[in-house]
Structure 1
Amino acid sequence: MFEDESQVDDALRALAEPRRRAILRLVAADELAAGEIASAFDVTRTAISQHLTVLKDAGLVSERRAGTRRFYRARPEGLAGLRDFLDAMWSDALDVGRRLVEADRATGAPEASSDVA
């Protein structure tokens, strides 16, 4: 269905963890050093490094090295496949809803009323 479903799967797995979503929010607008990211959480730098590796492997963040420092930034294009997947799912759900309403109308089923007596 999608060009690379494995990318969608990787993105969903990466984003399933709340800390990784929080990290992605941190680096969405600005490039941050790994230490800056780690200082925002009450876990070890090693744990944050592991989360960053998962996000990087899923294509959701990019890493830039400057000397011994590593800087991370969100990759909006990394979310493109996931966005396409969700858009298609939403579109399909709307189509199903439309067909159900049309079928109810065709059979003469009474519509739910919002009038309250």
Structure 2
Amino acid sequence: MPDLLSQKFSALADPTRRAMLARLAEGEACVSDLAAPFLTEMSLPAVTKHVKVLEKAGLVEKSRDGQRRPCSLKPEALQDVNQWLEQYRQLWEESLDRLDEYLKSVTAAQAEQEKSNKNAPRTKSDGRKSK
């Protein structure tokens, strides 16, 4: 059985589920509300399966309100995902900083080369200097 972090990443890998989470970030919604944007592409039972995946991963919670089954986002469930990603964000930023420094040095070297080319004496096509 996969660990919970793996289940969360698996749940987040699907664009439909990410869209559902984005909708739930705006507030509570029942499954039919979550299904509305997708009903031309999939059936209500397929949407329900997506919600169950999100529930199993701990990202969504269903409650009971009479006949309704409202779903809500559990933002705290994304905390371990964020912590895992944070360590890599630092590596990416360091790499981007190094790339930025490299590009600045290349740009400066090119500017210096262009400047020296402008100041160099010009020659005619036969090798003689222009007056």
TM-score range, shorter chain: 0.7 to 0.9
Instruction: Please name the residue that 2:3 is paired with.
Output: 6
Give 3-state SS (helix, strand or coil) of 1:40's partner: helix
Q: How many residues align?
A: 106
Q: Deviations over 1:66-92 (max 9, x none)?
A: 122211111111110110011111113
Aligned counterpart, 1:31:
28
Question: Which has a greater percent of strand?
Answer: 1
**Unaligned stretches of 5+ residues in structure 1:** 102-110
1:44-81 residue CA offsets vs partner (Å, 9 max, x unmatched): 11011100000011011111111222111111111101
* Match runs of 1:1-117 below 5 Å: 6-42=3-39, 43-95=42-94, 111-114=105-108, 115-116=110-111, 117=114
Greater length-normalized contact order (CA 8 Å, ≥ 6 residues apart): 1
Q: Given the two structures, how large is their TM-score scaled by the length of structure 1? A: 0.76
Q: What code does the residue aligned with 1:34 have?
A: V
Say if 1:7 and 1:81, in contact at 8 Å, map to a contact too.
Answer: no
More helix per residue: 2
Which protein is bigger by CA-based radius of gyration?
Answer: 2
Unaligned runs of at least 5 residues, structure 2: 100-104, 115-131
Alpha-carbon distance in 2 for matches of 1:17, 1:34: 17
Q: Percent identity?
A: 27
**Aligned Cα RMSD in Å?**
2.7
Q: What is the alpha-carbon distance in structure 1 between the residues aligned to residue 12 and residue 96 of structure 2?
A: 28
1:31–1:73 contact (8 Å) kept in structure 2: yes
Q: 1: CA distance between counterparts of 2:96 and 2:24?
A: 37
Q: Distance in 2 between matches of 1:58 and 1:65?
A: 19
User: What is the TM-score when the length of structure 2 is the normalising length?
Assistant: 0.69
